Amino acid sequence: MTVALQKKEKQFIGNGRSAKVYISFQDDKAVATKTFTGEPVSKLILFVLTGSANPYTWSEDAIASAMLRRRILSHLTRFWFGNKLRLPATYTYRWNDAEKAFEIDAEFITGCHAPLLNPMEQEPFDYMTELRNDIMNPLQEKLRQSGFDGLVWQAGKGNPVGASNFMLKPKKDGAHQWIWIDLESGLPALFAMNIFSTLSYYLPMCWKHKTWLFDDVDTETLRQYIIQNKAALLAESGPESYEQLLLDCAQLATRQHNWKSLSRAQKSLYYAFSQDKITEAQKDYYEDKPLRWMLKSIWMFLASFVFSFGTKVKKAVRKIMDFNYGKLFKRAFRYFSDSRYRWTFVRWMLKKEINVWHKRKSITDAERSILLNELSNNDVSAYLTDFSIHLGIKPLVKSFTFGLLPIFTALGYISLPVAAILLLWSGPAVRTIYTLAQMANNLVAEKKNSRYIALVIGIFPIIGNLAYPIEFAYHSTGNKNLLAKYIAYAFTTKIGAKIPIWGGQDSEIEHFFNRLCHRILK
């Protein structure tokens, strides 16, 4: 293994399926450190499919392959896209003994992911569409042609989360450049949202490489591609760079073979040794006894699972016992009984969302100021009070549909068809009852607030939560209208961010819901 991690002050900035990411400053230069610890669900899937956790965690051949791929693709992306797309400079890798994982140091990119559409502009620029059409789709084709069969997953083929692997960096002249920041997978390329991509590409590629597709490179195809494009590559970057490409390709072939040729038992054994779960003497003993090792590893896994499960159950029981239910009920009662408290809470929540959008560079400083100023005005409280009631009702409905409803169904008090109806329509029913009650109250009090739009939209599952922001947007003008539309944009976009597996922040699913709201309100 390489030199141990020197102690530097690092700040945690995020994590994904394959790694934690930190920022540090070395010689006044911002450095992003990607530590391949993985996350529990990804680890479990990889254990089932391959016998070990992410190979970038424990295999020096795998992490060296990642470095070589980055170096090769730094040349090729410049060759393919000019200044439109590049990779961050990648400096070195090392073993982090505290985390028991390899890590990569790379250039820290001071940009943002594709900004969301927002209501402040009549015709906002759609960065996600540009990313998909001008960068991701052409990149996938180039990767296939040059033998990077597994890298198309990180480039977003059938994988909506792939969009989060790219960042946008503005230039001084007003233009921008895309940066491909994440090239290392956290899972094998088997779980494409687009089933056609799985059947027509990923499964055949698994067959071709005789393994689950995981950042695999057909190094012979890559070598031939470099040779066939020799003249253009020489013209683009010179003879020294071209020779380095061929050398890196040869080294990648060796490093990748060393890692990929390991048996399931060897991967499991070497991972256990890297995590100090076995001694070097035990590793040497089991090296030529794969069956014995597999039996021992299964026993170790079961023992670890039982211990971990027991620990988590104890923690859960302790949290349940120690939870301050009185405080919760007091706050819930105050929320529904005190309009001022409710209004303060909604303002706090919306202010938080506005700041998140600003941090993501989806709204400018000036747009943020407009929204925050409008949020402080008392004359927007009528619609937002109704909106706050809808938000307050939601946890109660969820508690019923995901807590009591399964119990009543299991006990036979509710049939499956009725349970399915209640699961889907409990929220719309409660929203409709509330809106009808408010309309009746307005009729008696001879108030003009009609709520007809909120009544119709509230009938539908999911989007019904936006009933009052859309009603607010319809009846308001000027900055009030912008605030109302922003609320609709923010909460529609959040639907995509909450979808598991293929959704999440900066995914194409999140942007789909963001674009959907834009088209509806346009």
d(CA 482, CA 130): 25
Q: Are residues 263 and 350 in the same domain?
A: no
Residue 301 lies in a domain: no
Residue 5 lies in a domain: no
Q: Percent of the chain at pLDDT above 90?
A: 53
Q: Are residues 192 and 270 in the same domain?
A: yes
Q: Are residues 243 and 349 in the same domain?
A: no
| Statement: residue 332 has pLDDT above 90 | no
Q: What is the pLDDT of residue 337?
A: 82
Q: Are residues 63 and 125 in the same domain?
A: yes
Q: Are residues 230 and 345 in the same domain?
A: no
Among 83-92, 177-186, 314-323, 348-357, which stretch is predicted with the lowest mean pLDDT? 314-323
Q: Can you tell me which residue has the tokens 């900004």?
A: 115
d(CA 405, CA 423): 8
Q: Are residues 111 and 192 in the same domain?
A: yes
Q: Are residues 276 and 365 in the same domain?
A: no
Residue 298 lies in a domain: no
pLDDT band of 446, cuts 50, 70, 90:
low
Angle at 226 between CA 220 and CA 228, to 5 degrees: 100
Q: What is the pLDDT of residue 76?
A: 98
Q: What is the pLDDT of residue 381?
A: 64
Q: What is the pLDDT of residue 379?
A: 63
Q: What is the dihedral of CA 22, 27, 28, 33, to 10 degrees?
A: -10
d(CA 194, CA 198): 7
Q: Are residues 341 and 196 in the same domain?
A: no
Residue 373 lies in a domain: yes
Q: What is the pLDDT of residue 189?
A: 92
Domain boundary among 292, 313, 342: 292
**If we measure between CA atoms, which residue out of 261, 252, 256 comes closest to residue 225?**
252
| Statement: residue 2 has pLDDT above 50 | no
Count of CB atoms within 10 A of residue 333's CB?
Answer: 11
Among 12-16, 69-73, 167-171, which stretch is predicted with the lowest mean pLDDT? 12-16
Q: What is the pLDDT of residue 3?
A: 39
Q: What is the pLDDT of residue 4?
A: 40
pLDDT band of 478, cuts 50, 70, 90:
low
| Statement: residue 480 has pLDDT above 80 | no
d(CA 430, CA 423): 12
Angle at 54 between CA 52 and CA 56, to 5 degrees: 125
The sign of the torsion formed by the CA atoms of 509, 513, 519, 522 equals negative
Which DSSP category does 160 fall into?
G
pLDDT of 348-376, one tens digit each?
989 999 999 999 999 999 999 999 988 87
Q: Are residues 270 and 385 in the same domain?
A: no
| Statement: residue 520 has pLDDT above 90 | no
On whether the CB atoms of residues 487 and 516 are closer than 8 A, the answer is no
Q: Are residues 102 and 218 in the same domain?
A: yes
Three-state SS annotation for 131-158: HHHHHHHHHHHHHHHCCCCCCCCCCCCC
Residue 132 lies in a domain: yes
Q: Are residues 221 and 345 in the same domain?
A: no
Domain boundary among 272, 292, 312: 292
Domain boundary among 292, 310, 335: 292
For residue 415, the enclosing domain spans 325-521
**3 state SS of 216:** coil
**If we measure between CA atoms, which residue out of 185, 194, 191 comes closest to residue 17?**
185
Residue 2 lies in a domain: no
Among 54-68, 234-248, 394-408, which stretch is predicted with the lowest mean pLDDT? 394-408
pLDDT of 287-330, one tens digit each?
999 999 999 998 988 888 888 888 888 998 898 888 888 888 88
On whether the CB atoms of residues 102 and 60 are closer than 8 A, the answer is yes
Q: What is the CB-side half-sphere exposure of residue 366 using CA atoms within 13 A? A: 2
Residue 348 lies in a domain: yes
Could you tell me the pTM of the whole model? 0.88
Q: What is the pLDDT of residue 127?
A: 96
Q: Are residues 284 and 373 in the same domain?
A: no
Residue 16 lies in a domain: yes
Domain count, the chain: 2
| Cα separation of the two ends of the chain | 57
Contacts for 26-34: CB closer than 8 Å, 24+ residues apart: 26/105, 30/107, 30/108, 30/110, 31/91, 31/105, 31/106, 31/107, 31/108, 32/88, 32/105, 32/106, 32/107, 32/108, 32/109, 33/103, 33/104, 33/105, 33/106, 34/103, 34/104, 34/106, 34/184
Calculate Rg over the CA atoms of the chain.
27
pLDDT band of 479, cuts 50, 70, 90:
low
